[in-house]
Structure 1
Amino acid sequence: MALHRLGKDPEEWIAGSHFDPAERWPWWIDLVSASVARGVDVRRARAVSEPVSAYIRYEHALTGGHNVKAGESVRWLPRRRASSLLLPGNDCWVFDRSSVLFNHFNGDGEMTGEELVTDPGVVHACVSAFEVIWERATPHEEYRPV
């Protein structure tokens, strides 16, 4: 179950123990806030299945007070709107259009490793895919999980 990749936080939230993300992950808010203050554009796009799972409801509920508060721009793309897109097969981060960090998860959602790729063809493919996703996706403030 994907809930395990962030420890007990999702289970606690689903059970009704709502918490302030800034208290749990202050290092992330500090990192993103400092990056944005330097002029770095931090964007996150999430492709989600609908109806959304409890885990995605958890992520959505925390995004405004955690990611957006830190300075990230976040958008949501329902998978039904992604059928015509060619997407990377793994969760990833693109840095400065020069490298991609792929996150590898097992079937239970637990992270099993990372892979940093600097191959220009792979980076270009991921950047291109992200830009198309970004254009199709709904800004966090407007997205309502179904």
Structure 2
Amino acid sequence: MTAAQGQRGRPVSEEEFDRFFTDFLHTAFRLETLQKYDMTYEEEHFRRFLQGKDLGPSSALDAWGHSLRQKVREGRKHSRVHVVVEPLTDYVRFECVWAYQPNVAAGEDIRILPVKEGEWPQGIPCLDYWLFDSHHLVLMRYTPEGAMLPPELVDDSEQIVAANVWRDRAMHMSIPFVEYAKRFDAAMRSQ
């Protein structure tokens, strides 16, 4: 078990968590490792995706895209790597179609690190986190079903250094989402 997986930080309020996204100066990085997230604001869109229907508009997704474009204009960078297990879960397929495609168009550098079922990339923890400006580490916690628990801010320097190493390793091992998506149809099903 790594230091960041075994230790915890202090809980972060929703207001404080939101400030990280507005106040970061240079970089915001996200490591995603779950194959399903249970986010209530996505439920209707996910249901429509599974039914093969138009996903419809999303004010939350539109606001996120606007924020991404603004930050890119200011010279700030958003990036993420999602470790995805193949074959893709329905949720990951949905996330790619509903969120990743428009977020990439808005300027986010989204990358995919694919692995086969039962495997995991060497040197990458099965841990979700945000890393702002390489020194603010916010661990993302979830229930076994994928519902978000309060995030936790970590101030331990060893854990922060480890998160930077994991970020660099994940970025190096992954491929751009646009390249990854070429292997699939419009609904992210294997061709």
TM-score by shorter chain over 0.5 = yes
What letter corresponds to residue 110 of structure 1 in structure 2?
Answer: A
> How far apart are the structure 2 equivalents of 1:55 and 1:30?
24
Secondary structure of the structure 1 residue equivalent to 2:152: strand
Task: Give the greater-gyration-radius structure (CA).
Answer: 2
Q: Is contact 2:45-2:56 (8 Å) kept?
A: no
Q: Is contact 1:2-1:109 (8 Å) kept?
A: yes
Q: Is contact 1:77-1:138 (8 Å) kept?
A: yes
Which residues of structure 1 form unaligned runs of 5+? none
Q: Is contact 2:136-2:155 (8 Å) kept?
A: yes
Equivalenced residues, count: 144
Q: Is contact 1:3-1:10 (8 Å) kept?
A: no
Aligned CA-pair RMSD: 2.2
Alignment counterpart, residue 55 of structure 1, candidates 88, 91, 105: 91
Higher relative contact order (CA 8 A, sep 6+): 2
Mapped pair 1:40 → 2:80: no
Alignment counterpart, residue 105 of structure 2, candidates 61, 69, 88: 69
What letter corresponds to residue 173 of structure 2 in structure 1?
Answer: R
Which residues of structure 2 form unaligned runs of 5+? 1-34, 185-189
TM-score (norm 2): 0.67
**Cα 1:109–1:17 shift into 2, 3 Å:** same
Q: How does 1:102-121 map to 2 (within 5 A)?
A: 102-121=139-158
TM-score (norm 1): 0.86
> How far apart are the structure 2 equivalents of 1:111 and 1:3?
8
> How far apart are the structure 2 equivalents of 1:46 and 1:116?
21
